[in-house]
Structure 1
Amino acid sequence: MTRRLALVLALALAGAALTALPACSGKDATAPTEDRKAATIPVTIVTAQGRHVFRVEHARTEAEQAQGLMYRTDLKPDGGMVFAPYPPDGTAPRPASFWMKNTPTSLDILFIRADGTIARIADNSVPFSEARIPSGEPVAAVLELVGGRAADLGISEGDRVSWPR
């Protein structure tokens, strides 16, 4: 009986760890309707080639960040989602780990430091993958764009990202 209880507890803890992942999290959410989408804001990235402005959804709450872009097939080339602040409670920056479960569109995931610079770009993430995509260092925000956009526009690590706060 003790072994069975230990197994049940281990499975429960593993499930809790998965649902704690941000963005496309382990929660089985349903596809968002127009009225459930997050508010849209401008996000600007300054690169060596110039400025690029995106109109992205702003995921601020834990629920919005857990939903992320799961189930979405309607992403525009200059659309996406910014997770800011990350974590949603606004505490100090911390390492992030995203995944692509239930996400049918390849994404570029840009991990952003507290100073607004890009720490890491995970480009062309694999749709539906449950592999973790780590930030590699503490971050204050995360920006998801359509897969390949960062390379198309010459966006690089160290470039500066800003949005209305």
Structure 2
Amino acid sequence: MRTNQKLTQKLFALALFIYPALALAQVNIGLPIIELKAGIYRIQAELADTPKAREVGLMNRTSMPTNSGMLFVFEQKAGHCFWMHNTKIPLSIAFIADDGRIVNIEEMQAKTTNNHCPKAAIRFALEMNKQWFPDRVIVPGSVISGLPKKQVYWSKSALSRPLSYPQPPAQFL
């Protein structure tokens, strides 16, 4: 009986130690995916289109497939800056204007808190594995196609419904 009580106490203490660590180790799971194109390259991009999804971003990931990334979608054009706190993989980020043109590209080191900012107000940012853009000669001025259009935004979450669905009638909103 005493052994069970000690074991229970140890497990409880371990749980108290591990639980906060798990809470901090946030990962975006189940985000919608959109296909983008950069020149001849197809990109499978997870959509970070809510404040929480944008806050977590690619934190705590240990790898990402070659032609995969994360598209950050903002409701307002602004100088949205990024950092790499709790991001375990080095990334490249392309800051993208509404017309799909890349404004600038930044290389970002893992686990740093340096700010990486666009050179103009943007609504989109695309994170890919480090060197993805330069390795494919995708430079500022290149176009990313397949971005969600502004009229798709019928709620606070840009893509709370699949892109292929029309806007629901007003009585259903």
- The TM-score with structure 1 as length reference comes to 0.72
Find the counterpart in structure 2 of residue 81 from structure 1. 70
Between Structure 1 and Structure 2, the one with more strand by share is 1
Q: Gaps (5+ residues) in structure 2?
A: 1-22, 149-173
| 1:63 to 1:140, Cα distance in 2 relative to 1, 3 A | same
Q: Gaps (5+ residues) in structure 1?
A: 1-27
Question: In structure 1, what is the Cα distance between the partners aligned to 2:67 and 2:117?
Answer: 24
Question: In structure 1, what is the Cα distance between the partners aligned to 2:24 and 2:33?
Answer: 20
Find the counterpart in structure 2 of residue 41 from structure 1. 34
Asked if the contact 2:100–2:147 (Cα under 8 Å) also holds between the matched residues in 1, the reply is: no
- Say yes or no: does 1:99 pair with 2:83: yes
- Say yes or no: does 1:154 pair with 2:137: yes
- The TM-score with structure 2 as length reference comes to 0.69
| 1:134 to 1:44, Cα distance in 2 relative to 1, 3 A | same
- Secondary structure (helix, strand or coil) at the match of 1:54 reads strand
Q: CA RMSD in A?
A: 1.5
- Which residue identity does 2:54 align to in structure 1? Q
Deviations 1:35-70 (A, max 9, x none): x23111111112xxxx21111101111110111000
Find the counterpart in structure 2 of residue 19 from structure 1. none
Question: In structure 1, what is the Cα distance between the partners aligned to 2:139 and 2:92?
Answer: 11
Question: In structure 1, what is the Cα distance between the partners aligned to 2:24 and 2:120?
Answer: 28
Question: In structure 2, what is the Cα distance between the partners aligned to 1:120 and 1:79?
Answer: 19
Runs of 4+ in 1 over 6 A off after TM superposition: none
- Which residue identity does 2:63 align to in structure 1? D
| Residues paired across the two proteins, number | 126
Find the counterpart in structure 2 of residue 8 from structure 1. none
- Secondary structure (helix, strand or coil) at the match of 2:133 reads helix
Question: In structure 2, what is the Cα distance between the partners aligned to 1:94 and 1:154?
Answer: 26
- Among all aligned residue pairs of Structure 1 and Structure 2, give the percentage whose two residues are the same amino acid: 25
Question: In structure 2, what is the Cα distance between the partners aligned to 1:121 and 1:62?
Answer: 22
